[in-house]
Structure 1
Amino acid sequence: MTPAGLQTAIGYQFQSPALLEQALTHRSCGGSNNERLEFLGDGLLNAVIGSALYACRPRDDEGALSRLRASLVREATLAGIARGFELGSLLRLGESERKTGGHRRDSILSDALEALLGAIWLDGGFEAAQRCCLDWFAARLQALPDPESLKDPKTRLQEWLQGQGLALPGYQVLAADGPPHRRRFTVRCTLAGDPRHAEAEAGSRREAEQRAARLLLEQLGVVMRPVPQENGDA
């Protein structure tokens, strides 16, 4: 992929090549990098996608719209779009990031895509950036999942218990092991007055709680519909 090929792929021709170069420069390179552009692109992305959802889903409430937007602007989705543009091949990375495959990492790809959007805004104005954003997300906006399927296990468990007139679940950290950069948390999820419980382990307390809640939902016979996964296609 060349810079010219990338501009064809994203549907925008930069007037300022320097802005495009900055958008593709990771902070590991030092100097002028894409962090500020990423900040700008992130704000625009949330506003444009939020506006599009508001228009195309007039019957959805705030919670449903928020879940749909989160599914579209999440790291995995943005990285999938970036891969479709072959963005990773053009990223300017520091030596350590290059050696560890930073051009393939979801976090770096998603940040670069937001930075690219911010750069388009500065280079061609809001309308140009908005058009690109809507073009990039067009297929996803036409194939939105059921908002209910996007509820996380903790929310689903809480709502199910409330629907049954039962007390909210409790979460207890049983263990937190490992070095600071590789912590492992073991969490138990319990129900008041019910011997059933579930334990799960993950790299963060939040994720361990979510996994334990999912296991307990399975014990209760509550079906959790799978959240649509990003396949990396643009």
Structure 2
Amino acid sequence: MNYLNLEEFEKKLGYHFADKHLLLLALTHSSYANENKKGSHENNERLEFLGDAVLDMVVSEYMYRKFPEMPEGELTKLRAAVVCEGSLAGLSRKLGVGRNLFLGKGEESTGGRNRDSILADAFEAIIGAVCMDGGIEAASAYVMRFMENQIAQTKTNFRNLDCKTHLQEIIQKISKVPVHYAIVDEKGPDHNKVFVAEVTHEGKVLGQGSGKSKKEAEQNAANAALEKMKV
């Protein structure tokens, strides 16, 4: 069942539509349009197409300016993590998009209001609707209301997943000599040991970190080095 209150929903979105039809269209799933004999354009798929392109452009430009030292490959990976289906669906849930969707009975009965693919598509469709209603500047501002924090969080988690690789890629820009990791200390009893690792490059200590395993210690040492480099 759709619970849409336009004024209340616009407050959550942080954007006031001059053309309310665009917002309604952004929330109209193809299953609802089909069941209600609407035209082929009377669903959110075209707005989703536009919103997807706007989202990629806005996020790409922001990351290009924000992270000048990040290589193209890493920018691509980060953008993919930021605008992935799960990420966009999560933002939709925070906004309460699901409860406001116009869905067909079939999608309704099979849990469509909480399906990641439908929620992510609707999030992009709303971006498309904002772009059509207020132009690219309004759409950019709307996107970054949600994405600035999302990018920062994703970058931290993304980098921490493999700090060693990220550090090596940075060092490779300036030197052909690889970084070296060494366990320099072990603390505590055998059943609760803490390892301390150092990462060095050409004899210079770049960072030190500790962990419950040698791998964790090395990752934390790499992260410490990245923090010092402010990348």
Fold match, TM over 0.5?
A: yes
Q: Does 1:145 align with 2:187?
A: no
| Aligned twin of 1:26 | 29
Q: 1:129 to 1:98 in 2, by over 3 A?
A: same
Q: 1:103 to 1:146 in 2, by over 3 A?
A: closer
Pick aligned residue for 1:2 from 1, 5, 12: 5
| Aligned twin of 1:15 | 18
| Aligned twin of 1:127 | 137
| Aligned twin of 1:97 | 107
Amino acid of the residue matched to residue 134 of structure 1? M
SS in 2 for 1:13: coil
> Which residues in structure 2 correspond to 1:219-234 (within 5 Å)?
none
| Aligned twin of 1:169 | none
Range with greater deviation from structure 2 (141-150 or 114-123)? 141-150
CA distance in 2, matches of 1:140, 1:40: 21
Please say if residues 64 and 147 of structure 1, whose CA atoms lie closer than 8 Å, have aligned partners that are also in contact: no
Cα-to-partner distance string for 1:49-76 (whole Å, 9 max, x where unaligned): 0111111111100011001100110000
CA distance in 2, matches of 1:65, 1:36: 27
CA distance in 2, matches of 1:87, 1:146: 26
The structure whose Rg is larger is 2
How far is 1:2 from its partner? Answer: 2.3
CA distance in 1, matches of 2:53, 2:161: 22
How far is 1:81 from its partner? Answer: 0.5
Cα-to-partner distance string for 1:168-199 (whole Å, 9 max, x where unaligned): xxxxxxxxxxxxxxxxxxxxxxxxxxxxxxxx
Structure 1 stretches of 5 or more lacking a match?
160-220, 226-234
| Aligned twin of 1:63 | 73
TM-score, L = length of structure 2:
0.63
Amino acid of the residue matched to residue 25 of structure 2? Q
How far is 1:77 from its partner? Answer: 0.4
Runs of 4+ in 1 over 4 A off after TM superposition: 146-151
Number of residue pairs matched?
Answer: 158
TM-score, L = length of structure 1:
0.63
CA distance in 2, matches of 1:89, 1:18: 18
| Aligned twin of 2:119 | 109
CA distance in 2, matches of 1:61, 1:35: 33
SS in 2 for 1:145: helix
Cα-to-partner distance string for 1:58-114 (whole Å, 9 max, x where unaligned): 110001100110011000000010000000010000110000110100000000000
Structure 2 stretches of 5 or more lacking a match?
170-213, 220-231
How far is 1:17 from its partner? Answer: 1.0
CA distance in 1, matches of 2:31, 2:143: 26
CA distance in 2, matches of 1:150, 1:123: 39
CA distance in 2, matches of 1:145, 1:44: 24
